[in-house]
Amino acid sequence: MQARAGLELMTSWSVICCSWLLTSLYIRFNEQYVPHDPVMSGCLPSNPWITGDTMYWTMNAPTVTAPTKLRVERWSFGFSELIGDPLGRVQLLEFLKKEFSAENLSFWEACEELRYGEQGRIAEIVDSIYQQFLAPGATRWVNIDSKTMERTLEGIKTPHRYVMDDAQMHIYMLMKKDSYPRFIKSDLYKNLLAEAIIPPETKRRVFPFMRKPRHASPSPALQQLPPGDSEGRAEPEQPEGGT
């Protein structure tokens, strides 16, 4: 009985600890992303769904000369945020060129083209990836472990759009664990963050799609009444006797 009670107590504490950890992570996630949520924090310089002003879309286009501060900040949330942004990949490529490892990102992008490209070009794209990145003596050879290389070379004998998945994931994790932390700490990223633009502040609301409440207009009938009569007409007197 004592052993069973002890086991139940340990299980209860494990559930409590897991719940506390998950709650803490959820709160931290929300605190991090709320300033970047256009619904919860509003859009700068204005909400295009309400005002009709498209400047928000222009400033956050896939490729712009000067990115917004919120956009550059978001790249530091995780590697997926950086590599998922076309402008982020441009800046990462510039950084990787200085580290003589730009072929890693180029290989990842080529695999994305294979995954989402035209069905009729699959064999062509697979051969291009092999010649550029995997073949012996390739000009942009990528460093992949032997087992992954063996599976990939075996797979390209019957090319399909997912044949490079293992190799792509290997390079993705290599950039995530090795290149990404150095990029975030680099002068290149710090300068981007310092030079990023902050759109002019506008009045924010918790829910920006909610318009500012308007005061009700008086009834046209009341506007035609002589001064002093509107109050009496608004609330007619009750007859005496209560009947």
End-to-end CA gap in the chain: 77
Domain boundaries along the sequence of the chain: 48-195
**48-195 fold:** Regulator of G-protein Signalling 4; domain 2 (1.10.167)
The pLDDT score that the predictor gives to residue 55 is 85
Confidence band for 94, pLDDT divided at 50, 70 and 90: very high
Here the tokens at position 213 are: 């409440």
pLDDT tens across 19-32, in order?
766 777 667 666 77
Phi-psi region of 64 (alpha: psi -120 to 50; beta: other; left: phi over 0): beta
